[in-house]
Amino acid sequence: MTKGPKTRIGAWLARPLASFHLVVTVAVMLTVLGLVMVLSASSVEAYAENKSAYSMFLKQAMFAVVGFVLFYVALRLPIRSMRAMSFPVFVTTVVLLVLVLIPGIGTEAQGTRGWFVIGPLSVQPSELAKIAFAIWGAHVLASRRGEIITIKELLVPLVPAALVVFVLIILQPDLGTTVSLIIILFALLWYGGLPIKLFLAILGTGVVSVAILALTAGYRSDRVRAFFDSDADPQGTGYQARQAMYSLADGGIFGRGLGQSVAKWSYLPNSHNDFIFAIIGEELGFVGGAAVIGLFALFVYTGLRIAARSSDPFLRILTATVTTWITGQAFINIGYVVGLLPVTGLQLPLVSAGGTSTATTLFMFGVVANAARHEPEAIAALHSGQDGRISKLLRLPMPVPFQSVRPSRPRGSAESSRSRGSAESSRSRGSAESSRKAPAGQNGRRRQAPTRKTHDAHEVRERGIRR
């Protein structure tokens, strides 16, 4: 009885486009869940501010539509074009990070100058910088695969560029985005092949740097103190974390019911944003919270499966990095909601209210889905006419198989060329000796051209070759 479902699931996962369908399913389910929970969690605050319970929901729905358009663009984007545009786009995002710090151009909100406000819309350039850095970093590391490179060549220019972005975001200041960028950088270095001892050293340096940043600014140090001693200021710095725990406790196993949260009635600040997981736990209970965690766990499995199956080094590094980045951000958010981590301000991807974050995250889901269509088995299936319903509906272009380009003179190739030359010369000498030792009757039909011309008549007669 138990073997049937497992066999059917295994057979479905063995299909060439199973990874692609899993990515699309997870993206749609998280986005729909996020829209429902944003409507539920923001209705009270939205009505109090705008006299409409749907104002925040409509704004989030609009960015979700933009995100799905970007998802479709990422699906159609050729891998070669993505790599070619990565550096110019990264430089553009750095310029935007500089401009947003200028008073009068950038807008300050909640103590952070990190938004461009254009009419009713607001754009956060740091979210764009995360995407550009991940794609460009994967391109840099993949371009050096197949070469013998030093540690310096592996770290430069990736780490200096990351430090520039770190400084610009810290000046806003935005600790949550800084943590996300650190996750992206470490993922790139790990999947790019950095030696484990050096990786651990850099990881330790990063942890110490984040700790220093968390203790330097007033509001960040207050969050850290509230994490270690929530009873020190229960009505001040520890109020938000305590209310989140109360919401989760009230939810129980099956929750109060959708829309029946008590915490959203001005008890839990940012209930529709940073602490939306607490509202999920209160309204949908432990079952709802476990379902959200299960969706992100499914995304981890799918993303790493795509990375393992891909033959393109760029897609391997990029897919694994994006998977680590999105799930790492999700579990940091869930971690500080349930009280396991200090509050950092990181949003729950595709679930929390946040227009730029939702749109850019859906774009990255589209990139991962594009990588899924470039798996060797998926390419073979698509070129043989086995298009799925989604591919036919969206009229997606055929993926191009990866072709490894061998560098003309890779670093460290001198010794290998000398060894290949000596091996070829030894083989040629061996073939010449075997041709000289062959019987006379067999030399009338030569299997290969002689290595040298013979003009000695006596030697020719001995070999039996007619001149």
pLDDT the model gives residue 6: 60
Q: What sign has the CA pseudo-torsion 345, 349, 351, 354?
A: positive
Nearest to 378 by CA among 12, 15, 9: 15
Amino acid at 48: A
CA 372/CA 185 separation, integer angstroms: 23
pLDDT the model gives residue 430: 46
For the chain, how many helices (H) and strands (E)?
18, 3
Q: What are phi and psi of 287, to 5 degrees?
A: -65, -45
Alpha carbon 304 to chain centroid, angstroms = 10
CB-CB neighbours of 104 under 10 Å:
5
pLDDT tens digits, 141-159: 998 876 667 788 888 899 9
pLDDT the model gives residue 322: 97
pLDDT the model gives residue 220: 66
Burial readout 61-83 (b: 16 or more C-beta within 10 A, e: otherwise)? bebbebbbebbbebbebebeebb
pLDDT the model gives residue 222: 72
pLDDT in tens for each of the 467 residues of the chain?
445 456 788 888 888 899 999 999 999 999 999 999 999 999 999 988 888 899 999 999 999 999 999 999 999 999 999 999 999 999 999 999 999 999 889 888 777 888 888 877 788 899 999 999 999 999 999 988 766 677 888 888 999 999 999 999 988 888 888 889 999 999 999 998 888 999 999 888 888 887 787 777 666 677 777 777 767 667 777 888 889 999 999 999 999 999 999 999 988 988 999 999 999 999 999 999 999 999 999 999 999 999 999 999 999 999 999 999 999 999 999 999 998 988 888 899 999 998 889 999 999 999 999 999 999 999 999 888 877 677 777 788 889 888 875 544 333 333 444 444 444 444 444 444 444 444 444 444 444 444 444 444 444 344 443 33
pLDDT tens digits, 67-99: 999 999 999 999 999 999 999 999 999 999 999
Q: What are phi and psi of 123, to 5 degrees?
A: -120, 135
CA 341/CA 344 separation, integer angstroms: 8
Nearest to 240 by CA among 192, 273, 218: 273
Alpha carbon 165 to chain centroid, angstroms = 18
pLDDT the model gives residue 218: 61
- Tokens 């998802």, residue? 71
CA 461/CA 48 separation, integer angstroms: 110
Please report which helix (H) or strand (E) contains residue 117, including its range.
strand 112-118
Sheet holding 112-118, edge to edge: 107-109, 112-118, 121-123
CA 238/CA 227 separation, integer angstroms: 7
In the 8-state DSSP scheme, what is residue 404? P
Distances, alpha carbon 75 to alpha carbons 70, 71, 171, 259, 363, in Å: 9, 6, 35, 35, 9
